[in-house]
Chains A and B, each alone.
Chain A
Amino acid sequence: MVSENAKRRTPRERDLSRLAGVVALLVGILLAAGLCAARPSSDHPVPNIFQPQSTPADSIDHLSRFVLSITGLIFLVVFTLLVYAVAKFRSKATDDTREPAQVYGSTQIELAWTIIPILIVVVLFAATARVIHGIQDAPKPPTAVEVTAIGHQFWWEFRYPGLGVVTANELHIPVSDPAHPTPTFLKLLSADTDHSFWIPQLAGKTDLIPNRVNEMWMDPHSTGIYIGQCAQYCGTQHAKMLLRVSVDSPADFQTWASSQKQPANQDEKEIAGRHVFENTACVNCHAVGGIGATGRFGPDLTHLMSRQTIASGAADNTHENLRLWIQNPDAIKPGSLMPAMQLGDADLDALVRYLETLR
């Protein structure tokens, strides 16, 4: 060992400076993360789990911070021991060639570092079980809004059995005032493969699994648009199965619900486009209330223009996007189950103009 010990001083310093560089990099990343997370926003474009806006997300947030601080503490202790051991017990050039004291173990120390972790686990478990129970076993108040969410490849169907409303991709729910709570209880189903409903700021995710009924709830504390997306791989276009939740004031929600209950606009002005819709494969998959189009395979289009996006959030609901989506869905969402409709320009324009009357 002597020959190797002789040249150890300089590499040691070099290694330490490299280590310092790596640590500085890590600290920089963490700081930047903190800044990024702390950035305030009004319409919630960043679905940050540490900015909860609803009771389930809030209690998860509290638990997360508790677990983070315990694990952070464990990290600091063990990391300090590791760094100390690496720095202190490094063999030095001045050392003699004798081997260090051969220590085989210590029952007391082993007992200590068995019992302390067990105690930590007990504490963490107790805190966690309380939150699991609090979220999963929460009673449903009679004032709750009930929504059935059905996952499809690659879009969301929302049905409000109590209100008689059917819509897609953009969920509207009322804000819940703690004094008069109106939480939303979701019944989760799937029409095909597994999906997962995840709006990080409102609640943790719950899967939508075929042949199975799952439930979750949320009670948003403030109005606005909340962003999320499908969180269980469901096929080719899993990535663009986006999700928007519009949390409305009670009055806005009532207005929205009563307008959604109306049948589709029967204005005769765009009758040509309506004929295109009725006489092509559109009606096989899409429903439009009041005109006999009852397809269930794709989103309900009765109030298409009340939505901000099309293709499950993949594009803004604009004239150009709507036209492109009908003409060539793969340009927006390759692999989606919407077929390219192969319409001539005149028919296509008429159809888009008709769809734009569906307010």
Chain B
Amino acid sequence: MSSDAIAIRTADASSEPWLETLHGWVTTVDHKRLGILYIVYALLFLVIGGIEATIIRIQLIFPHMSFVSPQVFNRLFTMHGTTMIFFVAMPILFGFANYFVPLMIGARDMAFPRLNAFSFWLTAFGGLLLYFSLVGGSGLYGAGSAPDVGWWAYAPLTSRAFSPGHSSDYWTISLLVSGFGSIGTAINLIATILSLRCPGMTLGRMPLFAWMNMVMSGMVLIALTPLSAAQIMLMVDRYLGGHFFDTQAGGSAAIWMHFFWIFGHPEVYILIIPCFAFVSEIVPVFSRKPIFGYPVMVGATVCIGFVSMSVWAHHMFTIGMNSYANSFFTITTMAVGVPTGIKIFNWLGTMWGGKLIFKTPMLFCVGFLFQFLIAGLTGIMLGAAPFDWQLGNSYFVVAHFHYVIVGGILFALFGAFYYWFPKITGRMMSESLGKLHFWLFLIGFHLTFDSMHIPGILGMPRRIYTYEPGRGWELWNLLCTIGTFVQGIAILIFVANLVISYFKGAKAGNDPWDAWTLEWSVSSPPPSYNFAVIPAVASRRPLWDCKHPEDTDSRYE
């Protein structure tokens, strides 16, 4: 293995026979190739999940539409949610972590390269299994199907009485398999960050990107295990006569909710913390200043990691917990807003007094700040238990978490694409297409998700395939759907930009953004061994020190 991994590949892959190239990609243990595999895999699922969302929105454009049947609609929102969380957001974030954590900490690969490959292929197999349910779902009857129990799969809807056939089994096994993949990657990231940092890179000098991905990995270990346990219990219920969640035999539906949400809420932070990592790298570079309050940022991240483990039951305010439990989860939920707020202020502090350069990555980060602020504030509203008794499970919640996931996570991810694409491919992405993508996506996003809050306030519950006219919901649903198409066009422009720039983009050079972390010290794309000589660092911004020997960071830290 070792000779193969270290062998320096020729830069021009097209000269190899295609079978060799394919074999190289399938058997690779190189963290950069695996990172790209994760990202490309997630982008494919992003398109699938996006198409599902579009069909959902077409069905809801007017009351009493019959574009799809209720059965198909229920499958669509289940598959949309499951796909976007487990097979888009997590893999794409793991992809960036895989690619850049070793480069940023001056390592030649991840700590366990083969575990890394194994984890990726587990996740990939999980996604394929989920979609195989489309042809294999109903088993005996032979008719195609797909899971239709919602992405939380609340008991007892998943029991065999209510979910015959195998569609729920595909859902369960697919999440179990990809969950093990996620746990493998998390262990790998923690081991890499703790043991492979280059000389001089103490924990206090580590880029925030590495810090945040380490916190995220720790949370994956804690949060994914109860989910996997619950999936195993569900399979025991379905096939071995267990009664964990089988309410007809005395099982508890509420226990499933606890298992799911003790995964489900930390999951939100598992997704957003790597995005904090992107923003914490991009905002300083485009403000030409170091991150404001580095130790506080690290502390706030660790604090979010802990506090977010104690907020899960705010997803369950309506299940009839007593007033003390509801009060407890209210205060923990509001408390998690404090370290999150500190982060927003620190990013603002970083921009304050800088020289802001509004290239596309920075535009997306400013969009992220604006939308994440609103998402956080609607989160505080939903955290107040009585307010949640009204808004919970309504379209207001759908709007809130899409504000987090699209307005926050996806905006930060787009920023990351524009920022690191030159490093991964050696070519710049088009700025003009990028700006068009940004503005179009911003308009589409706000059209869809700003409007989506209102029907929730007017009593529209989520997960309904159609709705009655005359309740004041029509206009908002129409605007939502129009916005979806604007977003769709923006995504097409983004994909076009990726493809065109890959072939025709301007050469990037090593360091197109005049940045400060170690990945910009090597060629673009980096050689397979990353660093010919393992670097030694003396501060948080090693490249700043190189570029400004008269005024090094190491003097102040």
Contact = CB atoms under 8 A, between A and B. Distances in A.
Interface string B41-72: 00000000000000000000000000001110
Contacts of B472: 36, 39, 46, 48
B330 A71 contact: no
A158 B443 CA distance: 46
A244 B376 CA distance: 34
A105 B384 contact: no
B348 interface: yes
B313 interface: no
B390 A121 contact: no
Given A121-B338, A214-B320, A236 B459 contact: no
Nearest to A32: B475
Nearest to B456: A49
B288 A99 contact: yes
Contacts of A230: 461
B373 interface: yes
A198 interface: yes
Contacts of B69: 334-335
Contact of B454 (A33, A57, A64, A242): A33
B239 interface: no
Contacts of A48: 457-459, 472
Given A101-B353, A103-B292, A64 B373 contact: no
Given A105-B294, A124-B380, A209-B253, A198 B461 contact: yes
A233 B150 contact: yes
B472 to A, nearest CB: 4
Interface in B450-500: 450-451, 454, 457-459, 461-468, 470-472, 475, 479
Contacts of A37: 457-458
B348 A211 contact: no
Given A64-B390, A78-B344, A71 B381 contact: yes
Contact of B369 (A74, A82, A205, A233): A82
Interface string B241-260: 00000011011111000000
A46 B472 CA distance: 6
Contacts of A95: 355
A105 B377 contact: no
Nearest to A115: B338
A45 B471 contact: yes
Given A49-B457, A193-B156, A194-B157, A121 B471 contact: no
Interface string A227-248: 1111111111111101000000
B356 interface: yes
Interface in B410-467: 439, 442-443, 446-447, 450-451, 454, 457-459, 461-467
Contacts, number: 301
A329 to B, nearest CB: 13
Interface string A204-229: 11110111101100000000000111
Interface string B5-49: 000000000000000000000000000000000000000000000
A116 B473 CA distance: 38
B331 A200 contact: no
Contact of A204 (B289, B318, B458, B465): B318
Interface stretch (A130-138, A177-185, A275-283, A289-297): A130-138
Contacts of B341: 113, 117
A22 B290 contact: no
Given A75-B377, A103-B289, A22 B443 contact: yes
B358 interface: yes
Nearest to A4: B357
A151 B389 CA distance: 18
Interface string A64-100: 1001100110110011011001100111000100011
Given A105-B294, A124-B334, A192-B156, A89 B253 contact: no
A121 B377 CA distance: 12
B351 interface: yes
Interface residues of B, number: 104
Given A46-B471, A48-B472, A78-B344, A206 B289 contact: no
B454 A89 contact: no
A228 B459 contact: yes
B267 to A, nearest CB: 19
B187 interface: no
Interface string B316-356: 00111011001100110011011001101110110111111
A39 B429 CA distance: 49
Interface string B295-330: 110000000000000000000001110110011001
A191 B357 CA distance: 60
A104 B293 CA distance: 6
B154 interface: yes
A209 B467 CA distance: 24
A68 B253 CA distance: 33
A47 B471 contact: yes
A85 B352 contact: yes
13 contacts: A25-B443, A36-B475, A57-B390, A60-B389, A68-B381, A85-B348, A89-B287, A99-B548, A132-B330, A193-B156, A194-B156, A194-B157, A207-B319
Interface of B: 69-71, 74, 148, 150, 154, 156-157, 162, 247-248, 250-254, 287-290, 292-296, 318-320, 322-323, 326-327, 330-331, 334-335, 337-338, 341-342, 344-346, 348-349, 351-358, 366, 369-370, 373-374, 377-378, 380-381, 384-394, 439, 442-443, 446-447, 450-451, 454, 457-459, 461-468, 470-472, 475, 479, 514, 548, 551, 553, 556-557
Given A106-B292, A335-B69, 17 more contacts: A39-B472, A46-B472, A59-B386, A63-B384, A68-B381, A75-B373, A91-B355, A100-B354, A104-B556, A106-B349, A128-B327, A129-B327, A192-B162, A206-B320, A212-B319, A214-B320, A227-B471
Interface of A: 1, 4, 11-12, 15, 18, 22, 25-26, 29, 32-33, 36-37, 39, 45-50, 57, 59-60, 63-64, 67-68, 71-72, 74-75, 78-79, 81-82, 85-86, 89-91, 95, 99-106, 109-110, 113-114, 117-118, 121, 124-125, 128-129, 131-133, 135-137, 188, 192-194, 196, 198, 200, 203-207, 209-212, 214-215, 227-240, 242, 334-335
